Amino acid sequence: MTFKSRTAIRLSDGRELIYFNEEAQTHRADYPDTRELPPPPPTSQLRYDPLVDEWVAVAAHRQTRTFLPPSDACPLCPSKPTFASEIPAPDYDVVVFENQFPSFSDRIPADEITELTDLVPVRPGIGRCEVVCFTSDHNSSFGALTPSRVRTVVDALADRTAEMSTLEGVAQVFPFENRGVEIGVTLHHPHGQIYAYPTVPPRTRSMLAAAANYKERTGGDLYTDVLAAERADGARIVASNEHWTAYVPAAARWPFEVQLAPHRKVADIPALSDAERDAFGPLYLDVLRRFDGLFGKPMPYISAWHQAVVGEGRELGYLHLQLFTIRRAADKLKYLAGSESAMGFFVNDVVPEKAAQMLRDA
């Protein structure tokens, strides 16, 4: 671990906040949350859709979440005498705290409905949602971080993944970052989130099914073989180092999409070695800067860590990071229109080999 100390406090409404300090200091935990906050909301409601065999979360309390506040009222900046934010200390390195408007939590309402119809069971969205602040600098970005700070973030994600994976009812832990108003970001401060899902999400279910089928047919590991094939072919490789490869998937759905995978199969972030954690930052920062360099302006993106599930099928998981953008040209966005939104059938506007070449040249 690169962080020298880890200190946890409780905010005024009982939510947990953890400082990951790069120096051996604990003074940040001495600052109390001076706000008077209402109790956290109850968790969401999960409703089962029998037509597609999927669960949908209904979280009406999220309608009131903070939306693009002015910079002097940013809830992710350190607190100051004129404004008390979500982080009571006047400075921080990396901080993680329970989301004030969570999609999933362990706070179950007393009057929880258990069924809407015979075909639509309902259950509480038990899980956990956390916010990860990468830096106290409101005007920075993940791509502007130092490799050592990225290592601190990775260590914090490992810490949280390990702890959240032990929570009762959690099926998968999903760290991610949304960047840019085009993506739907509601807070400009550089930050990500971690969802501890109460059920295996649809994309992961599809990946598990494909991996299981491949293993039954060939005896091999699907992602291992896909990565080996991409490294051997080379046409879609964007960048690589001793421990990681960044490549554009041959069947990329998004205009510019890159997957970063460790060369060694590991289940999740906690399983990464020190050398692998150190090597991740420089490569990922390089790819992020290539994204920004494509059109000479900050690229909106989603960065998603795909980790192994907690329970059945865990052995089929292969940790990798998926980075993609909806920007398909300098002045054009890729909207999920009829085919993508209604049918889930993607039509990509950019040939993956061309996207890889553009990223290598950026």
**267, 279 Cβ separation under 8 angstroms:** no
- Residue 316: phi and psi, rounded to 5, are -90, -10
User: For residues 266 and 275, is the Cβ–Cβ distance under 8 A?
Assistant: no
- Residue 191 falls in the annotated catalytic set: yes
Structure tokens at 284: 């990922």
The Cα–Cα gap between 122 and 358 comes to: 47
Cα-to-chain-centroid distance, residue 27: 29
Tokens representing residue 323 in the block:
């980075």
Phi, psi of 61 (to 5 degrees): -65, -20
Distance of CA 173 to the CA centre of its chain: 9
Beta carbons of 198 and 127 less than 8 angstroms apart: yes
Q: How far apart are the first and last CA of the chain?
A: 33
DSSP 200-239: --HHHHHHHHHHHHHHHHHSS-HHHHHHHHHHHH-TTEEE
CA pair distance 208, 34, nearest whole angstrom: 46
Listing DSSP states for 143-167 in one string gives GGS-HHHHHHHHHHHHHHHHHHTTS
Judged on CB neighbours under 10 Å (0-12, 13-18, 19+), 89 is: buried
CA atoms in the 13 A half-sphere facing the CB of 95: 30
Q: Based on the number of CB atoms within 10 Å of its own CB, is 328 exposed (0-12), middle (13-18) or buried (19 or more)?
A: middle
User: Quick check: 133 and 87 in contact, CB under 8 A?
Assistant: yes
What is the SS3 assignment for 131? strand
Candidates 188, 191, 306, 320; catalytic one:
191
Give the gyration radius of the chain's Cα atoms.
21
Residues forming the active site = 191
